[in-house]
Amino acid sequence: MSQKYDLPATTPSTTTRPRGQKLTNEQKFFIAELLGCYRTPSQVARDFEEHFGMAISAQAVQCYDPTKRAGAHLSRKLREVFVLARGEYRAHVENIGVAHAVCRLRALQDGVEVYHERQNYLAMALLLEQAAKEVGGWYRR
């Protein structure tokens, strides 16, 4: 999913949001969209600070997640932003390599080879077990 918000490469000087100051609609949409993409509240708070140069707590971010108790009374518009972002994210999950078993198995194979060369047989056995579970459908619903 291409996000509408480009996060800056450098962090601007951060100011703490005065208690009781309201967020702008752009800031609220930013939070709801990132939460819709399965970002954790702490990740969203960090991205918010980088993008807007203003600190916000992870607890305050949770109020914009309609799947959480804190976000139960979220406005209809912000709920729609969240749901649309989540739907778009789910629709494009096939673009993420580790979402496919073949990519995960290839990475596990690379790890097995590295551990075999280093004679780390315990770590190699753990990766082989994980690969067997992957092939056997252990991680599928």
Helix (H) or strand (E) holding 117: helix 101-117
Rounded-to-integer distance, Cα 74 and Cα 87, Å: 18
Amino acid at 109: Q
Contact 112, 124 (CB under 8 A): yes
Half-sphere CA count of 130, side-chain side, radius 13 A: 15
- Assessment of whether the complete model's pTM goes beyond 0.75: no
pLDDT in the model for residue 3: 53
In this predicted model, what pLDDT tens digit does every residue of 30-69 receive, in sequence order? 999 999 999 999 999 999 999 999 999 999 999 999 999 9
Rounded-to-integer distance, Cα 42 and Cα 56, Å: 9
Q: What percent of the chain has pLDDT over 70?
A: 84
Local confidence band at 26 (pLDDT 50, 70, 90 cut-offs): very high
In this predicted model, what pLDDT tens digit does every residue of 81-134 receive, in sequence order? 999 999 998 888 877 877 788 889 999 999 999 999 999 999 999 999 999 999
Instruction: Kindly report the three-state secondary structure assignment for every residue of 15-53.
Output: EECCCCCCCCHHHHHHHHHHHHCCCCHHHHHHHHHHHHC
